[in-house]
Chains A and B, each alone.
Chain A
Amino acid sequence: MKKKEMVAMLLAGGQGKRLKSLTKSLAKPAVYFGGTYRIIDFPLSNCSNSGIDTVGVLTQYEPLVLHSYIGVGSDWDLNRKNGGVFVLPPHERENGSSWYRGTADAIYRNLKFVDQFDPEHVLILSGDHIYKMDYNAMLQYHKARNADCTISVIDVPLEEASRFGILNTEDDLRIYEFDEKPAKPKSTLASMGVYIFKWEILRKHLLNDGENAGSSHDFGKDIIPMMLEDGQSLYAYPFEGYWRDVGTVNSLWEANMDLLCDNPPLNLNDPDWRIFTRNPNQPAQYVAPGAQVSGSIINEGCIVRGEVKHSVLFYGVEVGEGSVITDSVIMPKVKIGRNVRIHKAIISENTVIEDYMEIGIDREDEDEILLIDNRSKKRKSVAAKTI
């Protein structure tokens, strides 16, 4: 294999339990976002746009959808003669087999994969976040400081800091402490789960960690503290821009809603930083006479006859006459009948909503986002009963 300066390793094996039924039969990075994307499109597109052409994708939980989605990587321009995208599920080895025991273990088990490219640096990514980031700019920062490890951080409000892995740094952003979800945070720099390591140094620590039976084999909990203890130089790389963790039903809904204002903080229409995705190749969307669409994003293949306000419609969704959809995310190929009302809900792929159904109307707890699929109990409106 040709030598590469940097190889990306994308951790995509997570289940994402807090996404409930959305991850029942697919891994979290394959969850839909933003009318046409899956979460993994963001790190893959960032790699492609940053000029990183070699990406290992570590899969484990329910990988079928993810594997077939990634394919040979041509949608992200990652079908290359030298490098490209590689799907790396756990595999049987001479001395037995087991699952990936943690994020660091997933890389440890694929040392041979990384070694093939003899890289100077390795970029570790996760498939849980929505953001646009130039990893090449981060690499230049990492090289300029001759860092052993650079961790991308985002400034979070102090009151939210205890939900994140917080990095405590000197004034020059050299990291002296990693604080996982601290009760009393000393800083507001939260780790984004994006790391660049010198491969030689990371390799050594992975070998140590791999032999350590007491370790949880996690980058945040084990590898970073071990490197700090060994006196390696770790730096924080401040990222400015839109970044959201979409690990829960509510946060996934919120990140979708973030796209809907007239000048959204995450611009998906930037021709210089496209988010690539597998195109489902649907005909143009049709908005019927009498339909009303505002403050929404709608994908191809949709047929809208009702009212769609402040909502996200994925491809192939049909909304019947008289139906009103507000503040909701409607995933691919959902069929919504006539005179349906949906408010503050996420409707899963392929769900059929019959005429006169009411979802999320007149409920007490509006803060919780409803997650609806074909198995959910639904009720018809009073209007339907009187007909």
Chain B
Amino acid sequence: MKQLMGVINLDHELDSLNELTYFRCGAAVPFASRYRLIDFVLSNMMRAELESVGLFVRRKYRSLMDHLGDGKSWDMNRKHGGLFILPPDWNDPTDTSRGDLQHYHNNLDFFKRASAKYIVFSGSQHINSIDLQDLYQYHLEKGADVTLVYKKIDQLQPEHDVCRRIEVDEDHNVTNIHQEKDHHNLYLDIFIIEKKLFLEQVEYCIAHGESYFFRDVIQKNRHKFKIAAYEYEGYHAVINSLESYYKNSLELLQQENYHSLFKENQVQTKIKYEAPTRYLESASVSNSLVANGCIIGGTVENSVLFRGVQVRKGARIINSVIMQKCVIEENAVIENVIMDKDVHLSKDRILVGDSKRPFVIAKSSKI
């Protein structure tokens, strides 16, 4: 019997990618030519063969639900368990819960119906390829109440500023949780806990007027609970700003990043039926990631092209991220740009952003 269930909690994630998150939540932002950010956590959960996965989301989830469907792409369209998308439709007049405890309180049935005894929680902004079964075994071996996942970051980046840090002793137990910017043990927004303890704590917290599970249960009780630390060493990127989105998109052009994120084709996404990409006689492509369905007649350098992009003859795309179905007409030039879906750029236009601050074009614009 499957012992592990999953929760993807998007409640605390800010939609801070400007134009890219005006109409969609951060988890639904397209990434890496053919994925959306949520695909990475879902694929991690798929590989761990969880009994069920609950997705808690409060805002702007239309695009996300369209992408997820019944969970088939992640093998989560199951008779028992599978994917549960649980948006906030709450009608209990006696409900006094707040924060993300609202989600848990109003979906107690989701937790109680599952036969799994442990729950792994994750957000969507830390892109990683963690083995959650290994985390689960580690948690059991440590006999901990809670196990937190962290990664030692050698070179801290601006996007790490808002992330929590953990301090770890030599027995891999967590001794402190804080947000000191120069600390290198980054908490990856993933933890595992026994379901029984989780439900007890949810009830206790609501009774005492608390709001957020991580802050008010785990962080607050860090000296009371036995909290273990699990070190993750694979691919990792935090995407919580336009700058971090742009930087991490282009860093996938480095082969070690590409291979560590996509080894054994471990990331699944919603299937589209595009033809393979066609390179015309005049195409010139270098150091770029290209999805299927593109027709390329121009020049593409150091860029990421999503599905179905058309680059007409004479057009030049440099250091840019071009999302699904954009059309770049003849002799247009794009440099340091993030172009959202369905943008049509007319002939001879020139769009140039700054290499640190890319120019963002909103979805479906005609320029």
Contact = CB atoms under 8 A, between A and B. Distances in A.
Question: Which residue, of A295, A308, A312, has the highest number of chain B Cβ atoms within 10 A?
Answer: A295
B225 interface: no
A295 B291 contact: no
B278 interface: yes
Nearest to B287: A289
Contacts of B135: none
B253 to A, nearest CB: 8
A287 B288 contact: yes
Contacts of A259: 278
Contact of A279 (B261, B271, B295): B271
A16 interface: no
Interface in A282-304: 282-301
Interface string A264-282: 1000110000111101111
Contacts of A288: 255, 286-287
A36 B288 CA distance: 21
Contacts of A312: 276
Per DSSP, chain B at the interface is loop
A286 B287 CA distance: 7
A308 B288 CA distance: 15
Nearest to A295: B281
B280 A291 contact: no
A360 interface: no
A13 interface: no
B262 interface: yes
A291 B274 CA distance: 24
Contacts of A292: 284
A35 interface: yes
A34 interface: yes
B276 A34 contact: yes
Contact of A285 (B277, B282, B283, B286): B277
A274 B279 contact: no
Interface string B17-53: 0000000000000001110000000000000000000
A286 B271 contact: no
B275 interface: yes
B281 A262 contact: yes
A285 B291 CA distance: 6
Interface in B240-285: 253, 255, 258, 261-262, 265, 267-269, 271-285
Contact of A282 (B265, B286, B297): B265
B289 interface: yes
Contacts of A36: 275-276, 292
A281 B273 contact: no
Contacts of B271: 75, 279, 281
Interface string A32-45: 00111000000000
B281 to A, nearest CB: 5
Interface string B287-323: 1111111010100000011000000000000000000
A283 B286 contact: no
B276 A298 contact: yes
B257 to A, nearest CB: 11
Contacts of A280: 265
A35 B275 contact: yes
A60 B326 CA distance: 45
Nearest to B283: A294
B275 A287 contact: no
Given A269-B295, A281-B265, A284-B290, A297 B285 contact: no
A286 B289 contact: yes
Interface in B136-178: none
A149 to B, nearest CB: 33
B32 A283 contact: yes
Interface residues of B, number: 39
B286 A295 contact: no
Contacts of B269: 281
Contacts of B283: 293-295
A300 B292 contact: yes
B250 to A, nearest CB: 13
Interface in A314-358: 314
A381 to B, nearest CB: 26
Contacts of B267: 283
A376 to B, nearest CB: 25
A310 to B, nearest CB: 9
A289 B280 contact: no
Nearest to A262: B280
A276 B278 CA distance: 17
Contacts of A290: 286
Nearest to B72: A74
A37 to B, nearest CB: 9
B275 A284 contact: no
Contact of B268 (A281, A289, A291, A293): A281
Question: Which residue, of B274, B275, B280, B286, has the highest number of chain A Cβ atoms within 10 A?
Answer: B275
A18 to B, nearest CB: 26
Contact of A35 (B33, B273, B276, B289): B276
Contact of A287 (B272, B278, B285, B293): B285
Given A275-B275, A279-B271, A294 B280 contact: yes
B292 A299 contact: yes
Contacts of A274: 273
A314 B277 CA distance: 11
A289 B300 CA distance: 11
A8 B295 CA distance: 34
A284 B255 CA distance: 12
B32 A298 contact: no
Question: Which residue, of A280, A289, A299, A300, has the highest number of chain B Cβ atoms within 10 A?
Answer: A300
B255 to A, nearest CB: 8
B279 A295 contact: yes
Question: Which residue, of B34, B277, B283, B285, has the highest number of chain A Cβ atoms within 10 A?
Answer: B277
Contacts of A282: 265
A268 B308 CA distance: 12
Nearest to A313: B276
A318 to B, nearest CB: 11
A253 B289 CA distance: 27
B293 A269 contact: yes
Nearest first, the 9 A-B pairs at minimum CB distance are A284-B33, A35-B276, A268-B275, A283-B262, A299-B276, A284-B289, A289-B287, A287-B285, A279-B271
23 contacts: A36-B276, A75-B271, A268-B275, A269-B278, A275-B275, A279-B273, A280-B265, A281-B271, A284-B34, A284-B291, A284-B304, A284-B305, A285-B289, A286-B255, A286-B288, A286-B289, A287-B287, A287-B290, A296-B278, A297-B278, A299-B276, A300-B291, A301-B265
Interface of B: 32-34, 253, 255, 258, 261-262, 265, 267-269, 271-293, 295, 297, 304-305
Given A289-B286, A293-B283, A296-B278, 7 more contacts: A34-B276, A262-B280, A262-B281, A283-B267, A286-B289, A293-B279, A300-B34
